[in-house]
Chains A and B, each alone.
Chain A
């Protein structure tokens, strides 16, 4: 099976305290720690596990700039066969539909049996996979937490729904799935693994390589645009306990006693 995984490099929320910059309408980008969008990493691991059982190849693609190449190398160190960077000045400022349009160009050029994305990246909020599937007229399933390859170009797919329940469906190939975190345990990638793929060539494709009309992507085509960032208004906000840790613990214990949480 030929599998394409669409991945992104994003600021790592667990590693960063996000601050506004001095102009107050955008975030401070200096010193941000970036990594692969977490669900995308699970998608790559799932693709690797599928080809380990059923044969085939895994290609990881990202839309971005040279800086984004590092996540392609990381996923190649995990075991992906190919990395592809989709990069063009015309792609800058694309909204979700623009990104899906670019990826559609790659899918039509290369033909894949299965396309995986992570369930969401925070700035988009779960959109590119579903859009790409609709553009290609492929079936789509989101929040996927199990994949089994069946006979006859089909998959049995589980989706995470409310209350920890799982919705099972049969899906025809080719299809697009958005992969939920926790579906597998992504393998560890060490520095040594990354060094081993450091010299592998990563091809770059632009709009003309992909047959993408430059006017259908990028900022000018984007119908959804972020205007600014701002710090969310605090709700009532917590009463912050301060002092030495003994003092804090004494106060906390008193509060919990008062609320009936300690007998």
Chain B
């Protein structure tokens, strides 16, 4: 028999995260007949509002209300979940900044197996759950077998499972708050410091020349800037360029950076990690330029060019400048 499946639902301002529908889809991949329960922690009217929304899609909503859970501190949430969850269950958690904080420790306290950043689910075979992960920057996929005989915590990659339309569930809200009691943690939330605004707002630009590790050094950023100037575009980047301090954080596209909606996106010398692509919305026309023909970016791009960007971008800049001269 398939273990009971729970989906941990992140929420903000009384609204459930997009992952609520994705985790439901992932649960159905584990067991098409499963009736997973949503698991929601929080406090006050916002929590009630999320529970009400989730009743529409989940057959059961487990609500854990505590003033100490008003802000989702992973250590406190973990302690609450350990008190509430039945032994041997499968817990699905979104693999984002909160799930990474919560799930590994939760698996230890539940004595459950843990598998991280899952992007595909083959299903259950006896006492094991077979899932798909990626390694080597997305160059390789791998099947992973997870022994679920004492339960499992599964971190699910955001965006990997498409929400499925279902009949409205009209689920019941089950209040588990009284199981939790007082909670304390060795880590205490202080505040959120908002991202600094940059010199250029890449979220408003229709054309982005976006650079990755392939730009190789800081001085080469000028090559991308020259192309952007010729095209009337702006320069954005992926994480390694910010880590190396070649461009400010405000230019980073991705889940930990900006979400952009350009019409055209030139992905130059970048692998195309899912964290990066998570920041690229609105179905832009993607041109990928990378010297590695196996770079995963070619799977998602519309047009691909195998070339060294340090040679290709200046040639493209020259061509566009010539065109503009002619047309003037």
Q: Name A's B-contacting residues (CB within 8 A).
A: 11, 13-14, 16-18, 20, 27, 96-97, 100, 119-120, 122-131, 133-135, 138-143, 156-172, 175, 178, 181-182, 185, 223-232, 234-235, 237-241, 245, 248-250, 252-253, 255-256, 259-263
Contacts and interface: CB of A to CB of B under 8 A. Distances in A.
Say what secondary structure dominates the interface of chain B: mixed
Contact of B143 (A162, A230, A239, A262): A230
B232 interface: yes
Contact of A128 (B103, B104, B303): B104
Closest 8 CB pairs of A and B: A130-B104, A164-B195, A125-B116, A139-B186, A238-B304, A134-B105, A261-B264, A182-B243
A224 B147 contact: yes
Given A160-B256, A224-B145, A238 B101 contact: no
A260 B263 contact: yes
B142 A127 contact: no
Given A169-B187, A171-B187, A237-B298, A18 B140 contact: yes
B180 interface: no
A259 B101 contact: no
B235 interface: no
A239 B114 contact: no
B204 interface: no
Nearest to B287: A252
B215 to A, nearest CB: 12
A123 B142 CA distance: 9
Band of interface residues on B: 35 or more
Contact of B305 (A97, A129, A225, A240): A240
Contacts of B22: none
Listed residue (B133, B206, B255, B305) with the most chain A CB atoms within 10 angstroms of its CB: B305
A261 B206 contact: yes
A227 B131 CA distance: 10
A222 to B, nearest CB: 8
Contacts of B74: 140, 142
Contacts of A128: 104
Given A18-B140, A125-B155, A256 B298 contact: no
Contacts of B326: none
A141 B73 CA distance: 10
A130 B105 contact: yes
B29 interface: no
A143 B104 CA distance: 13
A126 B206 CA distance: 35
A225 B137 contact: no
B207 interface: yes
